[in-house]
Amino acid sequence: MTDVAGNGRQPVWLLSDFAGVLGRHQSEQNRHQMAAAANADFDTFWDAYWTERQAYDAGETSREEYWQQVVARTDTAYSPSLAATLDRLDVQSWLRPDQETLRVTEELMTAGTRLAVLSNAPLSLAAALHALPWLGAFEQVICSSEIRAAKPDPDCYLKAVDLLKTTVDAVTFIDDRETNVVGAQALGIRSVLFSDAAQLRHALLS
């Protein structure tokens, strides 16, 4: 069962998902812009995008291979320039901060918690996350494509804990996807299913 309320125990390390927690999910405008750039039916494009995404996030396919696979599932002709456009729009679509959640993580850091990110992100998005000034308080930004394992693969969490040079009992993991929370919990990592900043503050600071 996922922990949605927490017990107020301040973590030594907060290991946070990025999209849907620290950053906002893609907007509908972003999503329509990408489907339009591909000259593809909206639902068909997004079904293809997510069908092929896990392997891309895990670093198993390259940028070119991923977009070829996505486009192949639509009626659009693939080209390197189309892949470059879609990749640029894709990266940009994820880089919208959730300021309320960031304020909670700042409060945690002030109280002594160390901060890190664990994100399912392909290499192009990973590069952008490493450069984000508003993630400057996070000591490590760990991306699935760089460790070649994506949530909820157990190796993803274990590699992250290893990179933090700590143990699972010193980490609290937060994510907005239940399957990812369950995957972390199975390894003995205290985990919180994120809904909003107020819930996170209650779970970890109250």
Residue after which a domain boundary falls, among 93, 121, 137: 93
State residue 206's pLDDT score.
Answer: 80
- Residue 1 covered by a domain: no
Query: Are 133 and 176 within one domain?
Result: yes
Per-residue pLDDT of the chain (206 residues; tens, 9 = 90+): 344 334 456 779 999 999 999 999 999 999 999 999 999 999 999 999 999 999 999 999 999 999 999 999 998 999 999 999 999 999 999 999 999 999 999 999 999 999 999 999 999 999 999 999 999 999 999 999 999 999 999 999 999 999 999 999 999 999 999 999 999 999 999 999 999 999 999 999 98
Is residue 137 located within the same domain as residue 179?
A: yes
Provide the pLDDT for residue 155. Answer: 98
Neighbouring C-beta atoms of residue 41, cutoff 10 Å: 14
- What does the DSSP 8-state code read for residue 191? E
Whether 67 is covered by a domain: the verdict is: yes
8 A C-beta contact, residue 150 and residue 120: yes
pLDDT of residue 75: 87
| Residue 179 confidence (pLDDT) | 98
- Residues spanned by the domain of 190: 13-24+96-205
Assess contact for 105 and 201: CB atoms under 8 A.
no
Residue ending a domain, among 38, 62, 93, is 93
